[in-house]
């Protein structure tokens, strides 16, 4: 069965310093992996996704993630944090087929990113 573990429930960084949000996954197949961001009282927005092409994936707002099969990891990084990055981030794996076709998304429990001045 597929699963996702986000290793930190809360991460705090200073503005201008690097961001690292850690994600490990378990999958029986070749997974697709996503990072979504959720700002307060907002829906989830796709940051980036890995679909078995390049292992280093670039997303919106300067975020990127590297797929490492040997480590079963898909960590999210950003070189320099901005105040507007404060939000909750979800790592998501997709590899199981639902009844009728289509992908099943399994969500991690989320990492709350705090950015301080």
Report how far Cα 89 is from the mean position of its chain's Cα atoms: 6
Q: How many CB atoms lie within 10 A of CB 13?
A: 18
Report how far Cα 12 is from the mean position of its chain's Cα atoms: 16
Report d(CA 19, CA 15) in Å as an integer: 10
Report d(CA 47, CA 34) in Å as an integer: 8
- Site size toward other proteins (CB under 8 A) is 31
Enter the tokens of residue 19: 């961001």
According to CB under 8 A, which one of 16, 103, 114, 116 is a site residue for other proteins?
103
Cβ proximity to other proteins: between 13 and 92 the closer is: 92
Cβ proximity to other proteins: between 2 and 77 the closer is: 2
Binding track, positions 49-88, relative to other proteins; x by CB under 8 A:
x-xx------------------------------------
Residues that bind other proteins (CB under 8 A): 4, 31-32, 34, 36, 41-46, 49, 51-52, 90, 94-95, 97-110
């Amino acid at each position: 069965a597929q699963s996702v573990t986000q290793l930190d429930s809360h991460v705090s960084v200073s503005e201008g310093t690097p961001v690292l949000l850690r994600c490990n996954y378990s999958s029986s197949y070749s997974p697709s992996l996503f990072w979504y961001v959720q700002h307060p009282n907002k829906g989830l927005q796709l940051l980036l996704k890995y679909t078995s092409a390049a292992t280093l994936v670039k997303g919106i707002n300067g975020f990127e993630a590297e797929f490492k099969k040997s480590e079963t990891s898909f960590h999210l990084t950003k070189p320099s944090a901005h105040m507007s990055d404060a939000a909750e981030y979800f790592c998501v794996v997709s590899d199981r087929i639902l009844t009728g076709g289509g992908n099943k998304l399994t969500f991690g429990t989320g990492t709350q990113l705090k950015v301080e001045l």
